[in-house]
Amino acid sequence: MNPNKKVSVVIPTMNRADDVINCIKSVLASTYKNIEIIVVDNASSDNTTAQIERIFSKNNKIKLIKSAINLGAAGGRNRGAKEATGDYLLFVDSDNVVDKEMIGELVRFFNNHEKCGMVGPLMLYKRDPKIIWLYFADINMFTSQAKYKGTGERDRKQYSKVIEVGHLPNCFMVKKDDFIRVSGFDSKYIIMYEEADLAERIKRELNKKIYLYSAARTFHNVELIRNKKKNGFLFSSERRAYLTGRNRVYFMRRNASLLQLLSFFFVFNPLILLYYEINLLKSGQIKQAWAYLYGNIKGFRL
């Protein structure tokens, strides 16, 4: 591992004061010390920025960017990347607590894998660190359906330490030069699919690969999957329903081959749309049903 390689940790956040403070503290506790932390606040309406300034004002490794508007996850990451001076960019969602060895392990992986375009850690639940949040993610380019592996399973070291994946959500590292070469995140996504889109462009334009390396670990502070299943909701808000429908179509338009696109547009998208509309209406989520339908239409025009 080359400790001379500087890592810029970019953390977008909004109204997550406690989460982002815990995230920053975990990054500062890293055994890999050649880092800078860039926090991009997306127009929080709570005390997020005040808390960051109060606790970390004397730490010169931390830079706080206050955006007057909500740039979304994609725009917030791009804003942070513009200020980055590191060789590597580590994008971390603010509801993570990273293992102290994680950054060093990811840098070590990059040093040993010339064709690596992006690498991320094994993601576990912070609320139960023995349960996997995500080991594998990919998108079927004919159907647009996401494929996941490991989620909700107890971590018994049952999976390979290294696996090639389609994309990495939540926490991942890229070389800054590669990030610039593919023009960063597409800010039109706002949230959802922006990470998969970046991964597709790294694979397609740079001929590089996306890996998960489970020797590196992070702990994601989200609700356990078994509790989500009990709650039984499809979308927590109209906005999320709209962006899911819109971004699914936009992602396929940008990344699918002609054959894949025809298959999606004429076969799978109508079936997926019908499935969501029926289930949203059955569950009483009338507004979300309209939002998903409208988003699906907008995805063809974005």
197 and 99 in one domain? yes
Count of structural domains within the chain:
2
Question: Which one of 225, 245, 264 terminates a domain?
Answer: 225
Contacts of 230 (CB under 8 A, 6+ apart): none
Q: 107: closest CA among 16, 34, 36?
A: 34
Contact status, residue 20 vs residue 76, Cβ threshold 8 Å: no
Q: Flag residues of the chain having pLDDT under 70.
A: 1, 226-233
237 and 205 in a common domain: no
Residues 67, 196 within the same domain = yes
- 228 φψ region: left (φ > 0), alpha (ψ -120 to 50), beta (else): alpha
Domain with 263, as residue range(s), is: 233-299
pLDDT at 194: 97
Q: Do 220 and 242 lie in a common domain?
A: no
Last residue of a domain, one of 225, 257, 291: 225
Same domain, 184 and 38: yes
DSSP collapsed to 3 states, 106-146:
HHHHHHHCCCEEEEEEEEEECCCCCEEEECEEEECCCCCCE
Partnered with residue 47 across adjacent β-strands are none
Q: Which tokens in the block code for residue 133?
A: 């949040």
For residue 1, is it within any domain?
Answer: no
Question: Is there a single domain that holds both residue 135 and residue 272?
Answer: no
Note whether 63 and 191 are same-domain residues: yes
Residue 23 counted as domain residue: yes
Does residue 284 share a domain with residue 168?
no
Which pLDDT score, from 0 to 100, does residue 232 have? 54
Do residues 207 and 261 share a domain? no
- Least Cα distance to 70 among 195, 197, 193, 239 occurs for 239
With b meaning 16 or more CB within 10 Å and e meaning fewer, what string describes 241-252?
bbbbbbbbbbbb
Residue 80 lies in a domain: yes
pLDDT in tens, 44-79: 999 999 999 999 988 999 999 999 999 999 999 999
Does the residue 152 lie in any domain?
A: yes
Indicate whether 182 and 35 sit together in one domain. yes
CATH number at residue 36: 3.90.550.10
Judge if 239 and 106 occupy the same domain.
no
State how far the alpha carbon of 39 is from the alpha carbons of 8, 93, 124, 165, 172, in Å: 10, 10, 22, 27, 16
Residues 135 and 89 in one domain: yes
Place of tokens 């090639």: 164
181, 203, 225 — which closes off a domain?
225
